[in-house]
Amino acid sequence: MQSQIRDLSLAPSGWVKINWVKAHMPILNSLEEEFRQTKPFQGKKVAICLHLEAKTAYMAQVIAAGGATVAVAASNPLSTQDDVVAALVDSGITAFAWHGATAEEYTNHIHQLAQFKPDLFIDDGGDLTNVLHNHYQEILKDIIGGCEETTTGIIRLRSMANDKALKIPMIAVNDALSKYFFDNRYGTGQSVWDAIMRTTNLVVAGKTVVVVGYGWCGKGTAMRAKGLGAKVIVTEIDPIKAMEAMMDGFSVMPLIEAAPLGDYFITVTGNKSVIAYEHLAAMKDKAILANAGHFDVEIDKNALEKLSSSITPGKPNITEYHLTNGRTLYLLGEGRLVNLSAGDGHPAEIMDLTFGLQTLSLVHLLHNPNLAAAVYSVPKEIDQRVALLKLKALSIKIDKLTPEQEAYLNSWQV
């Protein structure tokens, strides 16, 4: 199939970015070396619908090194880096994506990816899974399986499975310990603040940061805000997570009470309209709004428009909403996940773990081609292997259970 991208001549800059991350992703380095020998994906087509930046590109190349024919499309129109996509095409991978694709173009690219008829696929947020199930039933029956990267996508998959609508085995990569302990917590924690700081160039210390949602991504975002010297408020709907936030040392209150206090608001819930009209109307002048959830639905942009007398573009990745009450609110990255729309995503060393899990989960699907249509966990051996590969790369050794200790743990008689 013919690639649909912005400009192939951008490839040299994309290669520089890919080579940089490659030097910092030892798990993928070792899998690449292994796959070059073993060719686990020989003769298979692998579709990848992820944020198309350098780390993703390197994973796509590792899978291609394992013998696969690979095609990619974006999982978000603003996170696509055109130079990286050009480098992918330069390396023989088919791509359907460009930065700033309209909603129609974005969907069309995912349709192209479905028409590539993959044997295996990796999704982030569930858009490819949805398009395949809603429009390409005839292709579904030949798909061995797929992996899903993110919390939002897994919520969608579970509701599909409950409705008996899911027709293929899917591995919930997000639920692996080596994923959410590191990617969701430390990856989001760092990349969200990296994006906010590089976009605004404003101070965080001494400011009030409101983190909306205290899942693993919210925990990382709040933890890093604290480390930057902010006063942190957490808002939650889950009593246990609210307790946890309180015991982690954060103020906890309803969002409507936090609204007039915050200098920064960061949504990390996976839900829609969590920052709604009444919250926006109560915010102080020059408050900064950012979303770190997968879709751009968490901050109600319609409500922002209704409250505004004018809307003007600010610095790159900042939209200024001038409210009829005389205040201005700043929305970063159009309310799309800020770390990828206004930054480069999680650090390479973190995505190394996540993409190690993705890649090995695809191999697991290949070795188990007759799994029933359902949502599966990443096998524990893969989770542990990825963590061990990382420790090895860091030259960190750990202890082993003695045979007596193992026997002790496995016995119920004292």
Residue ranges in contact with ligand ADE by CB under 6 A = 50-51, 53, 55-56, 124, 149-150, 187, 339-340, 345-346, 351
Rounded to a whole number, what is the largest CA-CA distance in the chain? Answer: 73
- At closest approach, how far in Å is the CB of 191 from ligand ADE? 6
Decide: 114 and 128 in contact? Cβ < 8 Å.
yes
CA dist., res. 356 & res. 155, Å (int): 22
- The secondary structure of residue 102, as a DSSP letter, is -
Question: Which residues make Cβ contacts (< 8 Å) with residue 77, sequence separation at least 6?
Answer: 99, 100, 101, 102, 103, 105, 106
Identity of the residue, 220 or 262, whose beta carbon is nearer to ligand ADE in the bound complex: 220
Identity of the residue, 81 or 319, whose beta carbon is nearer to ligand ADE in the bound complex: 81
Question: Which residues make Cβ contacts (< 8 Å) with residue 143, sequence separation at least 6?
Answer: 118, 119, 120, 121, 132, 168
The token pair that represents 132 in the structure block: 């395949």
- At closest approach, how far in Å is the CB of 184 from ligand ADE? 9
Identity of the residue, 56 or 359, whose beta carbon is nearer to ligand ADE in the bound complex: 56
CA dist., res. 322 & res. 82, Å (int): 32
Identity of the residue, 56 or 319, whose beta carbon is nearer to ligand ADE in the bound complex: 56
Q: How many CB atoms lie within 10 A of CB 233?
A: 23
Burial label, 372 (beta-carbon count in 10 A; 0-12, 13-18, 19+) = exposed
Identity of the residue, 53 or 236, whose beta carbon is nearer to ligand ADE in the bound complex: 53
Residue nearest to ligand ADE (CB): 345
- The secondary structure of residue 378, as a DSSP letter, is P
Identity of the residue, 58 or 250, whose beta carbon is nearer to ligand ADE in the bound complex: 58
Identity of the residue, 80 or 308, whose beta carbon is nearer to ligand ADE in the bound complex: 80
CA dist., res. 128 & res. 142, Å (int): 15
- At closest approach, how far in Å is the CB of 42 from ligand ADE? 26
Identity of the residue, 223 or 323, whose beta carbon is nearer to ligand ADE in the bound complex: 223
The token pair that represents 146 in the structure block: 């797929």
Strand pairing category for 328-332 and 318-323:
antiparallel
- At closest approach, how far in Å is the CB of 149 from ligand ADE? 5
> Which among 22, 177, 122, 178 has a CA at the least distance from the CA of 359?
122
Identity of the residue, 15 or 250, whose beta carbon is nearer to ligand ADE in the bound complex: 15
- At closest approach, how far in Å is the CB of 124 from ligand ADE? 5
- At closest approach, how far in Å is the CB of 183 from ligand ADE? 7
- At closest approach, how far in Å is the CB of 120 from ligand ADE? 18
CA dist., res. 377 & res. 365, Å (int): 12
CA dist., res. 55 & res. 79, Å (int): 12
| Four-residue CA torsion sign, 343, 344, 348, 353 | positive
- At closest approach, how far in Å is the CB of 346 from ligand ADE? 4
- At closest approach, how far in Å is the CB of 354 from ligand ADE? 7
- The secondary structure of residue 187, as a DSSP letter, is I
